[in-house]
Structure formats: structure tokens, C-alpha cells
Amino acid sequence: MRWPSFKTWVSIVTALLVAVIIWQAWPNVVDAWHSLSEVNLWIFALLLPIQLASYAATGEALFSFLRSRGELRGMRPLTAMRMALEFNFANHMLPSGGAAGIAYTSWKLSTLGIPPSRGTIAQLAKFGVTFVSFSILLAAAGVQLIVSGHGSASVLWAAAGIGIAALVGVVVGVWLLKRRRLLHRVAGVVLRVARWGMRVLRIRKTLDAVPLVRFVDGLHLEVRELLASPRSLLAPFLWSFVINACDAALFWTALAAFGVYPDPALVFVAYGVATVASMIIVTPNGVGAYEVVMVATFVAGGLDPSVTIAAIVLARAVLLLGTIVFGWGFYQHSVMTAKAPGLSRRGTVA
């Protein structure tokens, strides 16, 4: 009897994860279906182009950084969009609070000749600038809520706390990556845990520490080069504003489809609080926590609970479907072929 290949197992596991996500979200899907009669479908249809714009901006935040480091200069726009959809699927559908998505994206980029350390730093840089722009927009949203009088104390404190936490996270992350000895210690802990797990599972294979040490050394060098030439962060930083604006606009549009036009500042704070909650809760796509936290923030800001629940549940159901539909095929193709688009004779990424 021939056992399935590793690629097949990865596909099976991913399919099971997607099935679990759909099963968990199914009550929301049913509720969303029943609420369609209350929706202005012309406004609600805007979710599709906004979602695609968010995916494209997310991809450009990553690719623009890599291009500034001499990588992917010949990538075609359609290829960039395709890979952005695939990376978005991996980041949102695979569990582990985004860690699995980072690992997958680094592997995919490595098939294009990008070292794993550079691919990982590119993603961390994207997250870093996104957090910084997120904090700036949160501060602006807080000021707007104070001026307009639409912000309750709980909403304003939530905005302040999340904005500060995002900035602190970026500073701590850079501080850790600048310390080579600390990185080596972390690598040692990871290696010991991995070896212990292999003993428990009775896997007879020796883990070599050299590749892991080379990887963390690569991270350290990439950070030093980045700090020496921070201009490579300018384009990703500008794209990060588009990412945050598009993601928050998705929920403003969903509420507008129900005839509710909330203060955009409140929408951004609710989006920020829910995003942080989904990062802490490691369920794929933050199913469950995201909706509850976002609705609670909107209600604290004075919105009607029944309409808010219907709008957020419907939006999340549609966005979940869009993430699967747009990204699953490209992800599956990469796993089964174990390669990314190749370079054409003219030096462009096909």
C-alpha cells in the first residue's frame, strides 16, 4: 500500500481546517442569509472590489519592500495579485495566530530564490509598518471621536490601549531582532522543543542546528541592513495606510448596506479592537472572537445592537467566502506543484 505524499497530506490538512472554519461559521452564514432581505445589495456589492483592493495593497506592501532590496523586480501585476490572494488565504485560514502563514509565505518566496531570512524579514517589516500606520490612524480616529462627541470612554480607552500596544510591539520586535545572542538562545529553545517533540512522537530523525543558526543570523543581518537603509520601508508604509483603510471600509460598507452610516472613526476603532482580538485567539481567521468584539465596540459607541450584529455577521460570512474562493485554488496549486511562478526568458515572473 502506497502512503500519500507529503504534499497530499498538507492539502488534506488544509482542507480539514477550511471545513472546520466553515462548520464553526455556519450559524453565522445562516443568519447572514436570512438578513439579506434587509440589505441594499448595490451598496453591499461594493464589498467585493474593496476586499480585492485590500488584498492587492497587502501584496504590494510586501512586494515593494522586496523590490527595494533587489528582488522580484520583474514580477507582473497579475502574478503579484495572484500571490497576494494566496498569501492572504494562508495568513487567514491557517491557525497559529499568523505564524503558519508567515512560514508558508517564506517558503513560497524561497521558490523564487529569496532567502528564508529575507522573506521572513519582509513580512515582519510589512507587519511593523502596518502597526505603525494603524496606530497613527487610531490616534486620528480618537481625536475625531472626541471632537464629534461620538466616542464613549470605553471606546476611547480601547483605541488608546491598542495603539500604544501596537507601537510597543514594533519597538520590542526590533530590539529583539537586533540582538544576535538572544536570537541564538531562542533558536536553541526552539531546537530543544522540536527534538523533545520528535522523541515523544518517536520520529527517528536528527535535527541539524546549523540551518536554524544560519536562519537567525540571516534575520539579524537583514535587520541591520534595514536599519541602515530605512528608505526601503517608505513604499510599504504608504501601502499600509491603504490596507488599514480598505479593511475598515469593508465594515462601514456593510453597515451602510443596512442603512446605518456610522462615524468612520468608530468603525476604525472597532476594526482595530477586533483585529487585535483575532491575533490573540489563534482560531483560523479569528472566527468567533472577531465578531463578538467588533459588535461590542460598535454597541459601546451607540449603534443599534440588532442591526450591528446582522451587518457584521453578514460581512464576515461574505469575506470568509471571498478569502476561500480567491485564495484556495492558488494555494492548492502551489502545494501540489511545490513551486511558484517561474522566471521567463525576459526576466519577468510569469
Record the pTM: 0.78
Query: How buried is residue 103: exposed, middle or buried, by Cβ count under 10 Å (0-12/13-18/19+)?
Result: middle
Query: How buried is residue 238: exposed, middle or buried, by Cβ count under 10 Å (0-12/13-18/19+)?
Result: middle
- Region 199-218: mean pLDDT is 78
Q: Residue 193's pLDDT is what? A: 80
Confidence check: pLDDT of 217 > 90: no
Greatest alpha-carbon pair distance for the chain in Å reads: 70
Q: Is residue 346 part of a domain?
A: no
**CA distances (Å), origin 103, targets 27, 96, 120, 123, 126:** 31, 11, 8, 10, 15
Q: Is the dihedral of CA 253, 255, 261, 267 positive or negative?
A: negative
Q: Is residue 108 part of a domain?
A: yes
Query: Which tens digit of pLDDT belongs to each residue from 92-107?
Result: 766 554 677 788 888 8
322 vs 225, more confident: 225
With cell 522580484, the residue in question is 72
Inter-residue contact 80 to 60 (CB < 8 Å): yes
Percentage of the chain exceeding pLDDT 90? 11
Q: Residue 347's pLDDT is what? A: 44
The vertex-344 CA angle with 338 and 350, nearest 5°, equals 60
Q: Residue 133's pLDDT is what? A: 92
Contacts of 16 (CB under 8 A, 6+ apart): none
Q: Is residue 269 part of a domain?
A: yes
Average model confidence (pLDDT) for the chain? 78
Q: Residue 21's pLDDT is what? A: 55
Q: Residue 94's pLDDT is what? A: 64
Q: Residue 343's pLDDT is what? A: 43
Task: Give the CB-side neighbour count of residue 7, counting CA atoms within 13 A.
Answer: 9
DSSP secondary structure letters along 247-312: HHHHHHHHHHHTT----HHHHHHHHHHHHHHHHHS-SGGGTTHHHHHHHHHHHHTT--HHHHHHHH
Q: Is residue 62 part of a domain?
A: yes
Lowest mean pLDDT among 63-72, 97-106, 222-231, 286-295: 286-295
Percentage of the chain exceeding pLDDT 70? 79
169 vs 29, more confident: 169
Q: Is residue 348 part of a domain?
A: no
Bridge partners for 349 per DSSP: 75, 343
56 vs 75, more confident: 56
Confidence check: pLDDT of 90 > 80: no
In one-letter notation, the amino acid at residue 327 is: G
Q: What is the CA radius of gyration of the chain?
A: 21
Among candidate residues 58, 67, 66, the one with its CA nearest the CA of residue 130: 58
- Region 124-143: mean pLDDT is 90
Q: Residue 50's pLDDT is what? A: 92
CA-CA distance, 321 to 328, in Å (whole number)? Answer: 10
333 vs 236, more confident: 236
Residue 15's pLDDT band (boundaries 50, 70, 90)? Answer: low
337 vs 159, more confident: 159
Residue 248's pLDDT band (boundaries 50, 70, 90)? Answer: very high
318 vs 20, more confident: 318
Confidence check: pLDDT of 23 > 50: yes
Count structural domains, the chain. 1
In one-letter notation, the amino acid at residue 294 is: M
Of these ranges, 235-239, 291-295, 330-334, 336-340, the one predicted with the greatest mean pLDDT is 235-239
Query: Which tens digit of pLDDT belongs to each residue from 295-316?
Result: 888 888 888 877 888 888 878 8
- Look at the chain and count its residues: 350
The vertex-57 CA angle with 53 and 63, nearest 5°, equals 145
Among candidate residues 124, 145, 186, the one with its CA nearest the CA of residue 298: 145
- Terminal CA-CA length for the chain: 38
Q: Is residue 349 part of a domain?
A: no
Residue 350's pLDDT band (boundaries 50, 70, 90)? Answer: very low
Residue 113 structural domain: 6-337
With cell 528582488, the residue in question is 71
Q: Residue 19's pLDDT is what? A: 59
